[in-house]
Amino acid sequence: MSSELSIRPVVPADFAEWLPLWAGYNRFYGREALPEEITRSTWSRFFDPQEPVHAVVAERNRRLFGLAHYLFHRSTILIEPTCYLQDLFTAEQARGQGIGRALIASVYQQAKLGGATRVYWQTHESNLTAMKLYDKVAERSGFVVYRKQF
């Protein structure tokens, strides 16, 4: 049995293994009680050709150890689409093994294939471990994110 890491698009049969990764990602950001309706809607978007939302997973020995969700959108300063890496998560027991880097590289590849000239993402300022990786694979934009919840 190969222990080689594979990054591939999510498939419907992945739901049972994707779900704990999704829950872990949301717990990391303090979203303990994300409604099931949101989870189900997010999952279904990955398989709807009308949606700009996509997902890849990291698999080793037929087990999932990471996920990345990304979407394409228009911009007022570019003609080409922009790719937003919305969610990136590696299972705690698999951190430090290059999975996050491989997931980001896969999103970069998919963005290029989708005609995007830019990939961007955000993380919480306290996520210092992840930022060590991000500083190696991208550059900080210097922008601060504001939001208003309704």
For residue 90, give its domain range.
6-137
Task: Give the CATH number for residue 29.
Answer: 3.40.630.30
Count of domains observed in the chain: 1
Amino acid at 122: Q
Nearest CA to 125 among 134, 117, 137, 116?
134
What is the tens place of the pLDDT at every residue in 97-150? 999 999 999 999 999 999 999 999 999 999 999 999 999 999 999 998 899 989
The torsion angles phi and psi of 8, rounded to 5 degrees, stand at: -150, 160
> Does any domain span residue 147?
no
Residue 108 lies in a domain: yes
Contact, 73 vs 119, CB < 8 A?
no
